[in-house]
Amino acid sequence: MARQLLQHCLSCNGWTLAAECCGQQTRAAAPIKWSPEDAKAPYRRRLENVEDPAWVETLPKLGERTEEE
């Protein structure tokens, strides 16, 4: 299910709020709203406690590589 209410049917070129139309899945009518100025970033950093050194350990790491590869 898309993260946007308004959906677009590619078969009949119609607009709908349903997840399916004409027997196939509908597409989101427009991309999700996004801004490079992340207004909620300070709250998210506080929520995830990124200043705690233990938080660094939760980040994904690169796998081991050998010289032969």
**Which of 6, 12, 17, 19 is close enough to bind Zn ion by CB under 5 A?**
12
Residues 23-52 that bind Zn ion (CB under 5 A): none
CB of 60 to Zn ion, least distance (A): 40
- Is residue 9 involved in binding Zn ion (CB under 5 A)? yes
Cβ-contact 38, 13 below 8 angstroms: no
Backbone angles phi, psi at 27, to 5 degrees: -110, 155
| Helix, strand, coil percent values for the chain (each to nearest 5) | 20, 15, 65
Q: Which residues bind Zn ion (CB under 5 A)?
A: 9, 11-12, 14, 21-22
